[in-house]
A = this chain, B = another copy of it.
């Protein structure tokens, strides 16, 4: 019987020389990039283009005058941009049918670190089960936590652990986990006791990313990010076009 492998990386830098080609990559930046992107795609945005710098976003904006500009620096909306990095800013009435040029540092770097993978998915707690269902038949999965400014953040590790736990519970084949996957699963299983959106949000508020969001006065974003399975949608990044679309509307 074939083995299913899951390798978790608690930071993009820990990917090192690992060869991702042939595997499915999952990018996690719970607070808030991947949560917000999932909201945008669930709310019928045409696509989200993840960009590293403000200049790149502005350059693309000049070429695409009907696109919306979104993202953050220091957690705040960027001067002249249409939207910040809060999932609440991305309802269907705003983003439906739109292309969104989106710049955040940690999340975009994590996506770039995955660009050699065969498939790249975007995950939050808001689409945990949908992502796991998408991964059910993938023999080798790489889960990459974005972290914050090069530091491991607990909220990303908890979601990585939730994915490992979910896939391990459902697996019919033997599982092979790297140590980071085992650690993430341990951390998640400890959090899973008496799990509700409230207890999960409380844990996220203690993390480095959570404390940052609280400092910005955006506590509601954490409650949104902790809402398990709000959407049945899996955003998928095409490494050739560098566009994120609903995986049901993307080429496989």
Contacts from A to B (Cβ < 8 Å) = 10, 14, 16, 150-154, 157, 178-180, 182-184, 186-191, 206-208
Contact = CB atoms under 8 A, between A and B. Distances in A.
A178 B10 contact: no
Contact of A183 (B14, B150, B183, B189): B183
Contacts of A152: 10, 14, 179-180, 183
Q: How many copies of this chain sit in the oligomeric assembly?
A: 2
Nearest to A184: B183
Given A179-B207, A207-B179, A150 B186 contact: no
B191 A186 contact: yes
A14 B150 CA distance: 9
A226 to B, nearest CB: 16
Contacts of A151: 14, 178-179
Contacts of A157: 179, 183
Contacts of A190: 186-187, 189-190
A225 to B, nearest CB: 16
A19 to B, nearest CB: 15
Contacts of A16: 150
Return the 9 tightest CB-CB contacts between A and B, nearest first: A186-B187, A186-B190, A190-B190, A154-B179, A179-B208, A189-B190, A154-B182, A183-B187, A153-B179
Contacts of A208: 178-179
